[in-house]
Amino acid sequence: MAIEQEIISTITDLAKRLNLADWGIAPADEMVNEADRLALWISNGYHADMQWIAENTALRQNPKLLVPGTQSILVFTINYAQQPVQPPHLPRIARYAYGRDYHKVLRNKLKKIGSVLNQRFGISGRCFVDSAPVFERELAVKAGLGFIGKNCLLIHRNAGSWFLLGSIFIDIPLPPAQKLQPHSCGGCTRCIDACPTGALAAPYTLDARKCISYLTIEKRGDLEPPEAKMLGNHLFGCDICQEVCPWNRFAIPTKEPDFRPRPWIMNLDARQWQDVSDEDFNRHMAGSAIMRPKAEGIRRNAEAVLENEKRK
């Protein structure tokens, strides 16, 4: 018991020093109910053309298949809450993409924690930040870090939803969270009502085919005319369902310097984005999540935004 408490105290201290908002321990149990819900969601076509979601389902369901020897899963949150800094007339960029790519930021922090655990306690582990078939939100719930809201995001009762998730699968058993946060959306439907495209097909159900984040980031190739219209003034991602969520009144600004906005991307209008060269894009966007759709995808999105502006 003493060694368990020492390990937990070490992780808590490291998480605080690394600007991680919270952390918890989830069991490495097989996640059958979660896998069944995912299968139903996929059968309805809600994953659009993101075929990778439908692959490796057995690994997603059973953490011990993904990482043999896993006994516990450490789940971490990092806060990216900040006020929007773009002038309102410019194409909107999701706040998580204002600064450095969170995959890089959070993964580096988790690797540091994993290294300390290995050196000090002989613990082996693997870090994941959107890099493997992992039920990240569901594991966060099991770790006591929040509940999944009607907008399909993890919500913490005392801090809202402006968080990103990462995990470390470790090879020793640690006591999982004993108290889970109760589901607390109640009768609220603000996120569903505010979604401009109807992507929230029902409470707790996202239809990616209508989601602005999917269309601006993951969608490959040309946008169909109805899809282009759905973008409105969004260039990369969408924050609407979080902006209207009452729980985010408890959000506090991030202390992570890597999430500070890059001035270059905060001040470009749609025409400038449409005209950006591959060279300029790659130079200014290096290390940014906005690299995901590449310059070609951003130019495509900017063209849609311009056409939508003409319709006003």
pLDDT of residue 85: 82
Cα separation of 39 and 215, whole Å?
22
DSSP 8-class letter at 93: E
pLDDT at 178: 86
Write down the domain spans for the chain: 2-84+93-170, 190-311
CATH for 2-84+93-170? 3.40.109
Tell me the H-state helices in the chain.
2-17, 32-43, 51-54, 57-61, 63-66, 102-121, 136-142, 190-194, 212-213, 225-230, 240-243, 263-266, 270-275, 278-285, 294-311
Residue 239 appears among annotated catalytic residues: no
- Residue of 29, 36, 130, 280 with catalytic role: 130
pLDDT of residue 311: 84
Asked whether 103 and 258 are in contact (CB, 8 A), the reply is: no
In angstroms, rounded to a whole number, what is the distance separating the alpha carbons of residues 200 and 268?
Answer: 30
Question: Do 123 and 7 meet the contact criterion of CB atoms below 8 Å apart?
Answer: yes
User: Which pLDDT value is given to residue 1?
Assistant: 58
Rounded to 10 degrees, the C-alpha dihedral 271/274/278/282 comes to: 70
Spell out the per-residue pLDDT of the chain, length 312, in tens. Answer: 589 999 999 999 999 999 999 999 999 999 999 999 999 999 999 999 999 999 999 999 999 999 999 999 999 999 999 988 888 899 999 999 999 999 999 999 999 999 999 999 999 999 999 999 999 999 999 999 999 999 999 999 999 999 999 999 999 999 999 889 998 999 999 999 999 999 999 999 999 999 999 999 999 999 999 999 999 999 999 999 999 999 999 999 999 999 999 999 899 999 999 999 999 999 999 999 999 999 999 999 999 999 999 987
